[in-house]
């Protein structure tokens, strides 16, 4: 049986190569394209296609459709929900956009740019910065993730509270549709109300409706002044109150507001051993606040006056404002290091949850209590983007219970957290998407009206279900 | 024949009344619901449905579907493209949302609200302001337009450069679908990446895919400080340069940047006879600039320092900063009065165009030259939202040529302007939508791939074409 499948796969791959030439990879070279970011899953594929331009993407899509093969579009492989990893190796082809790396245009006068799907986010941000321009999407994976993947997953990150999700930064798209035709919508218009906005369908669709090959985006003036502070607080509710106050007092100039528990410092030092802590890890809660802007507003003064009044009122009990870019970077390293620290502790339960801001503190309290009541030896780590109601409530299993129980604890803690989440009308995926990993939890909660509408759209745009089959929703 | 139709219509209306009861209007009472904002078109309908809640909308949709009647969803009737006016009186029913006026919730802690489709925009803004909250959508018709219509048309307005179109303010939707089922998506989550974002389809669809019955929206802190200035400039290119500079110098605190020609003052005084002019109408170009914010940023000081440097560099040659709310209101009256002044001059050619910001000045120069070359007696009035690349380039016909030639001049000037617009890859509808009025121009320019995709979506969601038939696109 395995022999047969292999034989079929090889034959299919050869037919693809005959049509598409040297953009087809097979054999051992495919391994890295069939693995997920965490390294938990290693899959396979009939072939990997590496097109260099939109025409080659289109040709690849047509060739796969003819052979009845599913296509898994792939960006920088930093996704966390298996959206870009094949789940039926003998029926699927990976199509990576990694060779489409042209920045087609940066227009400083228009505050816009056109970039291909395979451009790495950080590379684009750097290029824009050379012209005094700023692309505000900012996330941990920005050194690897690609703009096509960012748009396909509607990526979030740390600046959403000010600049919105990726969706709000997109002005236009070029998409290869399931029949190989090209949807050419690379406009840079700010206002364009010519009927239904079709590009919205592809943002967040994780490649299930077509393959995004290029993107037109908004740019902003590069913030010349950034004030970064790490603040000690008495509680998560105080953090939320501080956020509300910051919104009013700092106008729209707050660009990040991250919440962390004291354990974050320990985890960060486990993740990055030589990390310097700028503040004692002895308080119940911490907030990382960033205010930024260019031009005539005195950002440092604004931060100082904001903190002064917050300390007077007891909302902030201790804090440090970065005095240099190096110090600011060091503060952000804590936020990033805590992820690495969690990873070093081994397998754990990760979530990407959102609830209405007004219910965030209650949600965290109830969900953590629910977990600890059933699993007293586990450790809860809740942190995230307070301003968006987006919390990563993770659970580190009790390792003393032995290796075998870890998976059981992960499963159990996920169920406990999701049960609380459902009572709060929250989202099981605030920013990571659905992919294959969250599909069961997604579908289980999908109201019938919405399911029917999703299937109607999918059947209308991709009647053969060629595009990322197995991702988000199944055919039946 | 007319008798027959009338007989059929009356019979159909009676069947609707039998099913739906007292929400059905017929006869002369329908007239106002079948007329457009400008009073150019008076149509008719089988009946007007005035549901009080979502269940009654749903019942109305089912009843119409059974009788094979098209439904024209209707808001505050301030649309400018005939999107809410029946075009087949014997086959269509108007469904007005005007009785669904409940503000279901304003949550100050969550910076969000849930409101029904028939709530008048200004009434909602006022209610939010009572809690120190701000809903940034702002347009001339805000005293009449309704939130459901705003979302269905993805309304724009004067604050788009800072807060985005209506789409960017929407967190969730409740929609009655063509089969009468209810899409219940009234979430207030800021981040929710659970697959394809279906609500986006209905925003800007002008009721062609379903009827929006309620909306969940973002709110912001009410700006406590607003600085408004009217500035005299040497040219439109200088206005664009000033806008770019304001973006950099005033961070994200600029909330409006409107461009006006000197003729605006004359038109405004024709529209509002006792209007006081705060500045002499003798310069080639004018900009209305608004900076706003709350809390710790000194908005007045920011405006003063911004203008100081702009005047030093000769970008601004004269100007006045409002010293009171009354003065600020007076400045805005010029912007609004010029519309009334144009209307008083009689029929004229109106446009709602957008081009990339970097090409705005060139576009206006070329389009005005094209019109004046062929129609030397006509008057061009170009004004609009510079920051969005959105210009209303209107043409007032040469009245000395006689009444009969006015329509011909309007038609001709539209063709001349659109020909230039096509060369600039602009949009024929920046913010007003397509409706029935712009359908021919829209369809004529629609690429085939896009047309096929639009039809596939429409057929998937509304297979019987019950929803606003005749709007945006035709079945064949």
**Cross-chain residue pair A354–B389, CB shorter than 8 Å:** no
- Quick check: B377 pLDDT over 60? yes
pLDDT of B39 reads: 86
pLDDT of A98 reads: 98
What is the per-residue pLDDT across A212-266, written as a single tens digit (0 to 9) for each?
999 999 999 999 999 999 999 999 999 999 999 999 999 889 999 999 999 999 9
Cβ pair A426, A441 in contact under 8 A? no
pLDDT of B252 reads: 87
CA-closest candidate to residue B220, choices B132, B281, B321: B132
Helix (H) or strand (E) holding A204: none
- Quick check: A184 pLDDT over 60? yes
Cβ under 8 Å to A: B residues 374-433: 385, 387-390, 425-433
Mean pLDDT for the stretch of residues B54-73:
98
Helix (H) or strand (E) holding A57: helix A54-67
- Quick check: B474 pLDDT over 70? yes
pLDDT of B2 reads: 46
SS (H, E, C) B205-242: CCCCCCEEEEEEEECEECCCEEEEEEEEECCHHHHHHH
Cβ pair B394, B350 in contact under 8 A? yes
CA distances from B126 to A251, B336, B361 (A): 20, 20, 37
CA-closest candidate to residue B56, choices B16, B92, B84, B20: B20
Nearest CA in chain A to B430: A192
| Alpha-carbon distance B265 to nearest alpha carbon in chain A (angstroms) | 26
CA-closest candidate to residue A360, choices A275, A421, A440: A421
pLDDT of A5 reads: 57
What is the per-residue pLDDT across A384-426, written as a single tens digit (0 to 9) for each?
998 899 999 999 999 888 877 999 999 999 999 999 999 999 9
| Alpha-carbon distance A16 to nearest alpha carbon in chain B (angstroms) | 26
What is the per-residue pLDDT across A298-312, written as a single tens digit (0 to 9) for each?
999 999 999 999 999
Mean pLDDT for the stretch of residues B415-439:
97
pLDDT of A1 reads: 39
Cβ pair B279, B226 in contact under 8 A? no
Helix (H) or strand (E) holding A212: strand A211-218
Cβ pair B175, B186 in contact under 8 A? no
What is the per-residue pLDDT across A144-183, written as a single tens digit (0 to 9) for each?
999 999 999 999 999 999 999 999 999 999 999 999 999 9
- Quick check: A134 pLDDT over 80? yes
DSSP letter at B277 equals: P
pLDDT of B1 reads: 39
Mean pLDDT for the stretch of residues A330-341:
92
**Cross-chain residue pair A248–B294, CB shorter than 8 Å:** yes
Band the pLDDT of A6: cuts 50, 70, 90: low
Band the pLDDT of B6: cuts 50, 70, 90: low
CB-count exposure of residue A157 (10 Å: 0-12, 13-18, 19+) = buried
Nearest CA in chain B to A463: B456
Greatest alpha-carbon pair distance for chain B in Å reads 74
Residues of chain B positioned with their CB less than 8 A from the CB of A190: 160-161, 354, 357, 387-390
How far apart (Å, rounded) are the C-alpha atoms in residues A408 and A397?
9
Is the CB of B183 inside 8 Å of chain A's CB atoms? yes
How far apart (Å, rounded) are the C-alpha atoms in residues B421 and B431?
16
DSSP secondary structure, A112-141, as one string:
EEEEETT-BHHHHHHHHHTTTEE-----TT
pLDDT of B3 reads: 46
**Cross-chain residue pair A181–B208, CB shorter than 8 Å:** no
Band the pLDDT of B349: cuts 50, 70, 90: very high
Residues of chain A positioned with their CB less than 8 A from the CB of B358: 107, 109-110
Mean pLDDT for the stretch of residues A421-442:
97
CA-closest candidate to residue A427, choices B197, B116, B135, B104: B197
- Out of A192, A429, A453, name the one closest to residue B430 (CB): A192
| Alpha-carbon distance A355 to nearest alpha carbon in chain B (angstroms) | 6
| Alpha-carbon distance A161 to nearest alpha carbon in chain B (angstroms) | 8
Nearest CA in chain A to B109: A358
The structural domains of chain B, ordered by start, are 2-96 (3.30.43.10), 103-221 (3.30.465.10), 225-344 (3.30.70.2190), 353-423 (3.30.70.2740)
- Quick check: A55 pLDDT over 60? yes
Band the pLDDT of A26: cuts 50, 70, 90: very high
Cα B43–Cα B431–Cα B385 angle in degrees, nearest 5: 135
Q: What letters, b where the CB count within 10 A reaches 16 and e where it falls short, cover A97-134?
A: bbebbeeeebbeebbbbbbbbbbbbbbbbebbeeeebb
How far apart (Å, rounded) are the C-alpha atoms in residues A84 and A70?
12
What is the per-residue pLDDT across B231-250, written as a single tens digit (0 to 9) for each?
999 999 999 999 999 999 99
What is the per-residue pLDDT across A353-379, written as a single tens digit (0 to 9) for each?
999 999 999 999 999 999 999 999 999
Mean pLDDT for the stretch of residues B411-430:
97
Structure tokens at A197: 């906005």
pLDDT of B402 reads: 83
pLDDT of A401 reads: 86
Is the CB of B258 inside 8 Å of chain A's CB atoms? no
Quickly tell me which residue has 């004229």 as its tokens. B348
Structure tokens at B467: 């929803």
**Cross-chain residue pair A190–B387, CB shorter than 8 Å:** yes
How far apart (Å, rounded) are the C-alpha atoms in residues A476 and A443?
11
CA-closest candidate to residue B107, choices A356, A162, A160, A161: A356
Mark out the alpha helices in B222-324 (DSSP H runs). 236-249, 263-271, 299-312
CA-CA-CA-CA torsion for A26, A28, A34, A39, nearest 10 degrees?
-170
Residues of chain B positioned with their CB less than 8 A from the CB of A390: 190-191
What is the per-residue pLDDT across B150-188, written as a single tens digit (0 to 9) for each?
999 999 999 999 999 999 999 999 999 999 999 999 999
Mutate to test the interface with A, among B251, B390, B443 (most CBs of A within 10 A): B251
CA distances from B81 to A189, A195, B145, B414, B439 (A): 20, 12, 14, 15, 9
- Out of B357, B452, B461, name the one closest to residue A110 (CB): B357
Cβ pair A354, A427 in contact under 8 A? yes
Is the CB of B206 inside 8 Å of chain A's CB atoms? yes
**Cross-chain residue pair B193–A433, CB shorter than 8 Å:** yes
**Strand, coil or helix: what is A286?**
strand
Band the pLDDT of B305: cuts 50, 70, 90: very high
Residues of chain A positioned with their CB less than 8 A from the CB of B428: 194
Mean pLDDT for the stretch of residues A109-114:
96
**Cross-chain residue pair B294–A181, CB shorter than 8 Å:** no
Residues of chain B positioned with their CB less than 8 A from the CB of A426: 189
Cβ pair B416, B368 in contact under 8 A? no
Question: Inter-axis angle of helices A403-423 and A360-374, to 10 degrees?
Answer: 140
CA-closest candidate to residue B152, choices B455, B443, B405, B434: B434
- Quick check: A2 pLDDT over 80? no
Cβ under 8 Å to B: A residues 96-155: 107, 109-112, 132, 153-154
* Mean pLDDT over the full length of chain B: 95
Cβ pair A167, B168 in contact under 8 A? no
- Chain A and chain B share a number of CB contacts under 8 A equal to 282
**Cross-chain residue pair A253–B248, CB shorter than 8 Å:** no
Cβ under 8 Å to A: B residues 294-323: 294-297, 302, 305-306
Structure tokens at B288: 């209305």
**ipTM field:** 0.96
Task: For residue A448, count other CB atoms closer than 10 A to its CB.
Answer: 8
CA-closest candidate to residue A206, choices A61, A75, A83, A43: A83
How far apart (Å, rounded) are the C-alpha atoms in residues B328 and B225?
12
Mean pLDDT for the stretch of residues B80-107:
97
Query: In this structure, are strands A225-233 and A318-321 parallel, antiparallel, or unpaired?
Result: antiparallel
**Cross-chain residue pair A356–B110, CB shorter than 8 Å:** yes
Cβ pair A315, A245 in contact under 8 A? yes
How far apart (Å, rounded) are the C-alpha atoms in residues A150 and A73?
12
Cα B61–Cα B67–Cα B68 angle in degrees, nearest 5: 85
Band the pLDDT of B7: cuts 50, 70, 90: low
Q: Which residues are CB-neighbours of A77 under 8 A, at least 6 positions away?
A: A32, A33, A35, A36, A37, A84, A144
């Amino acid at each position: 049986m395995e022999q047969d499948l292999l034989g079929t796969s090889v034959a299919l791959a050869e037919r693809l190569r005959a049509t598409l030439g040297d953009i087809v990879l097979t054999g051992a070279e495919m391994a890295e394209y069939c693995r997920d970011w965490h390294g938990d899953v290693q899959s396979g594929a009939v072939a990997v296609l590496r097109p260099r331009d939109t025409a080659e993407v289109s040709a690849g899509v047509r060739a796969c459709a003819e052979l009845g093969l599913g296509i898994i579009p792939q960006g920088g492989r930093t996704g966390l929900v298996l959206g870009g990893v094949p789940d039926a190796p003998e029926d699927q082809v990976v199509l990576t956009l990694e060779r489409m790396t042209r920045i087609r245009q940066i227009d400083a006068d228009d505050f816009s740019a056109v970039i291909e799907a395979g451009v790495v986010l950080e590379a684009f941000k750097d290029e824009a910065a050379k012209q005094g321009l700023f692309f505000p999407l900012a996330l941990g994976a920005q050194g690897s993730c690609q703009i096509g993947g960012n748009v396909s997953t509607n990526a979030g990150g740390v600046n959403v509270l000010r600049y919105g999700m990726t969706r709000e930064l997109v002005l236009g798209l070029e998409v290869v549709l399931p029949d190989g035709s090209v949807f050419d919508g690379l406009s840079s218009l700010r206002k364009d109300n010519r009927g239904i906005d079709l590009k919205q369908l592809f943002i967040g669709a994780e490649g299930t409706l077509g393959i995004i090959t290029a993107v037109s985006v908004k740019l902003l003036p590069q913030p010349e002044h950034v004030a970064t502070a790490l603040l000690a607080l008495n509680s998560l509710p105080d953090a939320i109150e501080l956020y509300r106050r910051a919104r009013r007092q700092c106008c729209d100039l707050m660009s990040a507001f991250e919440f962390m528990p004291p354990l974050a410092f320990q985890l960060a030092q486990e993740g990055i051993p030589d990390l310097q802590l700028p503040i004692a890890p002895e308080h119940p809660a911490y907030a990382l606040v960033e205010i930024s802007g260019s031009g005539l507003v005195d950002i440092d003064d604004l931060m100082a006056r904001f903190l002064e009044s917050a300390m007077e009122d007891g909302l902030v009990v201790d804090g440090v404002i970065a005095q240099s870019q190096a110090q600011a970077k060091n503060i952000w390293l804590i936020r990033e290091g805590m992820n690495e620290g969690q990873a070093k502790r081994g397998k754990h339960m990760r979530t990407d949850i959102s609830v209405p801001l007004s219910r965030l503190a209650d949600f965290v309290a109830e969900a953590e209590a629910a977990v600890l009541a059933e699993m007293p030896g586990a450790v809860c780590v809740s942190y995230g983007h307070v301003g968006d109601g987006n919390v990563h409530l993770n659970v580190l299993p009790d390792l003393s219970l032995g290796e075998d129980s870890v998976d059981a604890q992960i499963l159990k803690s996920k169920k406990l957290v999701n049960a609380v989440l459902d009572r709060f009308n929250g989202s099981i995926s605030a920013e990571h998407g659905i992919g294959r990993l969250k599909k069961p939890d997604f579908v289980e909660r999908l109201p019938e009206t919405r399911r029917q509408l999703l299937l109607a759209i999918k059947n209308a745009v991709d009647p053969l279900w060629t595009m990322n089959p197995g991702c988000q929703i199944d055919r039946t």
